[in-house]
Structure 1
Amino acid sequence: MLRPISFNFIRRYSRLNNFELEYFCSSQNINEIEQNIAQRKGVGNIKRVCELYDQYKSVNKEEKTTIENELISEILKIPNRTHPEVMKNSIDGNSTIVKLIGEKKVFNNKPLEFQEIAKRMNLVRTDQLGNYSGSKSYYLLGAMASLERALVQYAMKTLMANNFELISVPDLIPRELVEKCGLLTSGVRNQVFVLDEKLHQNNICLSGTSEMSLAGLYMNHIFEEAELPIKLAAVSRCYRSETSNLAEERGLYRVHEFTKVEMFLIVTPEQSDSMLEYIRNIQEDHFSLLDLHMQVLDMPPDELGAPAYRKYDIEAWLPGREYYGEISSCSNCTDYQSRRLGIQYRNKNGELKFVHTLNGTASAIPRLLIALIETGQKEKGVVELPKVLHKYMHGQEIIKKQTKIPTLKLIKSKQ
């Protein structure tokens, strides 16, 4: 049986002081934490954390470092707590529909899906790319490449109007930063591309989202309370090693790399709940002008990922595929990332506290392209673009079949 423990001595050890050992190693919280791990489909072992902590207290100074490293490694596996409303509303494990936006478009004939439209109009290449860029890759051609740029510009205008600060971020980041932000870099659930250590002699990863680079920019930083909230935006290439054999996730729906416009916020604990709603409102207003039918979902515990305390997804109706597909999400990560990264603020009383971090997608290009093309398709073999994008497409209102783009051919390698 786990017994209550004293935490007075841990103030001497700054690395452990970043973590809530008072919470993790209290016998009163073990069942709650185990239940949260199970519901979140996590891999953490809270009893092992408590065992290591007991060992840590009893060994001499020379042995503490080894145990401390293992103890921190185990703590990093524990997922964030879950918002009480999420736990209450997700008893059946399903997401909760918060609201519906827009109406489903009515077609005279059965609408085509994105891949068929793109093939007929010579807009995208996703097949036979082994000799060019590998599987789960793609080429956006002509007007489709222009539409990608238009969506980025439209997203940036929205964020600049909401006083976000634009930052250009690196795509190569340390493995340690990825893990401190809450992503696994090894194991079966790993989504991260890691560079070959034998060739590069570093634990370097390809960034899966600019959120991690933005968080890393402020590692070990102390803000003054008056500086918060901090609102940052970045346009970056995102790399994911995840694959899928599901028919509904074919083509551009799940790929190894894509362009994304991301929001990242640093706030006080008192601000984080309201700021999550603030991000969601920005997303809803932003996507509503694209003439899509959407549903906003409050996601259940098993869909949150390790860092999120609460997460909203926005799914667009894809008429060609006849299902809703995720185009955006926003998450409140509370102090999960800031404790691991050492990001704090000094309050009005001079006390140091950990900030809360939030993130949200302003534009994830491939899935938005699918939604726009399937929704905008017309019987005459053209795609109608939303009015809000016309100025970013230099006045172009429709996309027609392209004839001047070369066709990629399969090249057989000679042995």
Structure 2
Amino acid sequence: MIKSCLILQRFVKKSKWFNSYSTCYLPDIDINYYCDVKNTSEIKQNIHSRKGVGDITKVLKMYNLLMMTPNSDQAYDSIKENLYKELASLPNRTHPLVKTYEENPYIIHEVNKKKNFGDYKPLEFSEITQQLNLMRVDKLGNTCGNKSYYYFGELAELEEALIKYTISALLKENFKLVSVPDILSSNVLQSCGMMINTDRTQIYSLDPALHGPDLYLSGTAEMSLAGLLKNSLHDKTDLPLKLAAVSRCYRAETSNVVEERGTYRVHQFTKVEMFAVTTSEQSDEMLEYLRRTEESLFSPLGLHMKVLDMPPHELGAPAYRKYDIEAWMPGRNNYGEISSCSNCTDYQSRRLNIKYSDGNIEQYTHTLNGTACAIPRMLIALLETHQDPKGRIDIPLVLQPFINAKQFIGKNSNVPKLKLSKGKK
């Protein structure tokens, strides 16, 4: 915590840190909203439309029991702890406009036109990388198993170019760059709205017998950045706070959907993440800003995209509103999500105790997050869009300064094609 405080003091003046080692920490969930019977019908509908977990009826029963139990009673603390555990599983509220959407997202607008390939039938990413010897995804049992990959030569260079391009643009927008840990505790993960140790989890857990209890691999830098700000108090004049991080993301999720084949959904990948902390009045505009920032990053790359306002069932537990950006992947003949940004209002800050003050009153901040660049899907969109019938990949002009001024990617001859043989027992 001391180290985190020293790092953050560069970004947040007049910050005040609280003791994070209390023996029994209960998040300050908005009990006035969730336990008011006038809101029960709305909350039930919200849980249903978001296809989430949570039982508001159970919450109300436990709340009534708590109200009837004297706080001097031995059972009081246990009831209260169980109540807040149930409260924590309820989803955030939903933006009023988003409530009107049904199953399909609302298309805000499209960016760029689809590339015309003429008579040439564009190849899929895996076919391109195989022809140019740029990637290996099969027979990885000796290293990292399935749903992983190796990038070779100029494809690996393009990955680094994308990261540098993205960070360069974010620094110009006054984002503060933070290097984050990839191993977190359950408190941080759950406070961000992630489920752990359930059949629906996407989180990898480390073996407690080998590494100690309560350690997990981070699925996105959003969680580490939120954890850095845990138990902090910010001056209102220092908000909004804009942070960015490059990290490896670990996802236990798998998919048998045809559209998500290959490296579209993998167990580990590199991502540049944006994270913002605002006042309650600033968060709606900050979400629009994050969306515009994503569009400004992706548009010069020549990708055809749809910008979507997502319906309730696509929000997840923490989000109040979420925008997705889907890029056209011509080799797959389909759109694929390459980015999203979400306004989580005070859902995470109440659980992590992140507040701001105007000198007189303390209030919970709002937190937001957005994907500035997720490498595997961005590479799929780029290679499929900019493939040339002559057997090379044209590099977008804005990326060329970050890849030694190269204008295209050709066949990789530096790494020989690998021939695998069975090892002797």
Interval containing the TM-score (normalised by the shorter chain): over 0.9
**Structure 2 residue identity aligned to 1:26:** D
SS in 2 for 1:185: coil
* Equivalent residue, structure 1, for 2:9: none
Query: Is 1:61 matched with 2:73?
Result: yes
Matched residues in 2 for 1:257 and 1:17: separation?
A: 31
Matched residues in 2 for 1:71 and 1:413: separation?
A: 56
Q: Does the 8 Å CA contact 1:131/1:411 hold for their aligned counterparts?
A: no
Query: Is 1:236 matched with 2:247?
Result: yes
SS in 2 for 1:383: strand
Matched residues in 1 for 2:93 and 2:420: separation?
A: 50
Segments of 5+ residues of structure 2 without an aligned counterpart are 1-23
Q: Deviations over 1:272-330 (max 9, x none)?
A: 00000011111111100001100000000010111000000011000000111011110
* Equivalent residue, structure 2, for 1:264: 275
Q: Deviations over 1:37-94 (max 9, x none)?
A: 0111111011111111122223343212222221111111100000001112x13x10
**TM-score, normalising length from structure 1?**
0.94
* Equivalent residue, structure 2, for 1:78: 90
Q: Does the 8 Å CA contact 2:27/2:352 hold for their aligned counterparts?
A: no
Q: Does the 8 Å CA contact 2:122/2:331 hold for their aligned counterparts?
A: yes
Matched residues in 2 for 1:390 and 1:129: separation?
A: 31
**Once the 2 structures are TM-superposed, how far is the Cα of residue 17 of structure 1 from its aligned partner?**
7.1
Matched residues in 1 for 2:73 and 2:372: separation?
A: 49
* Aligned match for 1:297, one of 308, 311, 316: 308
Q: Does the 8 Å CA contact 1:223/1:346 hold for their aligned counterparts?
A: yes
* Equivalent residue, structure 1, for 2:18: none
* Aligned match for 1:355, one of 337, 360, 365: 365
Matched residues in 2 for 1:173 and 1:332: separation?
A: 22
Matched residues in 2 for 1:179 and 1:407: separation?
A: 44
Q: Does the 8 Å CA contact 1:155/1:363 hold for their aligned counterparts?
A: yes
SS in 1 for 2:413: coil
**Structure 1 residue identity aligned to 2:264:** Y
**TM-score, normalising length from structure 2?**
0.92
Q: Deviations over 1:236-274 (max 9, x none)?
A: 000000001112211110000000000000000000000
* Equivalent residue, structure 2, for 1:392: 402
* Aligned match for 2:221, one of 210, 214, 222: 210
Q: Does the 8 Å CA contact 1:128/1:409 hold for their aligned counterparts?
A: no
Q: Deviations over 1:108-152 (max 9, x none)?
A: 211101000001100111111112211101001010100000000
* Equivalent residue, structure 1, for 2:238: 227
Segments of 5+ residues of structure 1 without an aligned counterpart are 1-13
Q: Compared with structure 1, are the counterparts of its residues 26 and 383 closer, same or farther at alpha carbon in structure 2 (3 Å cutoff)?
A: same
Query: Is 1:39 matched with 2:65?
Result: no
**Structure 1 residue identity aligned to 2:276:** L
Task: List aligned pairs for 1:102-181, cutoff 5 A.
Answer: 102-108=112-118, 109-181=120-192
Matched residues in 1 for 2:352 and 2:278: separation?
A: 15
SS in 1 for 2:74: helix
Matched residues in 1 for 2:242 and 2:349: separation?
A: 15
Q: Deviations over 1:152-189 (max 9, x none)?
A: 00000110010000000000000111011001112222
Q: Compared with structure 1, are the counterparts of its residues 384 and 17 closer, same or farther at alpha carbon in structure 2 (3 Å cutoff)?
A: closer
**Once the 2 structures are TM-superposed, how far is the Cα of residue 409 of structure 1 from its aligned partner?**
3.8
**Structure 2 residue identity aligned to 1:212:** M
SS in 2 for 1:317: strand
Query: Is 1:28 matched with 2:38?
Result: yes
**Structure 2 residue identity aligned to 1:382:** R
* Aligned match for 2:61, one of 51, 56, 63: 51
SS in 1 for 2:307: strand
**Structure 1 residue identity aligned to 2:373:** S
**Once the 2 structures are TM-superposed, how far is the Cα of residue 411 of structure 1 from its aligned partner?**
4.6
Matched residues in 1 for 2:336 and 2:255: separation?
A: 14
Matched residues in 2 for 1:336 and 1:347: separation?
A: 21
* Aligned match for 1:315, one of 322, 326, 329: 326
Matched residues in 1 for 2:229 and 2:259: separation?
A: 39
Aligned length: 399
SS in 2 for 1:363: strand
- The two structures, once aligned, show a CA RMSD in angstroms of 1.3
Query: Is 1:255 matched with 2:266?
Result: yes
* Equivalent residue, structure 1, for 2:4: none
Matched residues in 2 for 1:224 and 1:64: separation?
A: 36
* Equivalent residue, structure 1, for 2:291: 280
Q: Compared with structure 1, are the counterparts of its residues 309 and 253 closer, same or farther at alpha carbon in structure 2 (3 Å cutoff)?
A: same
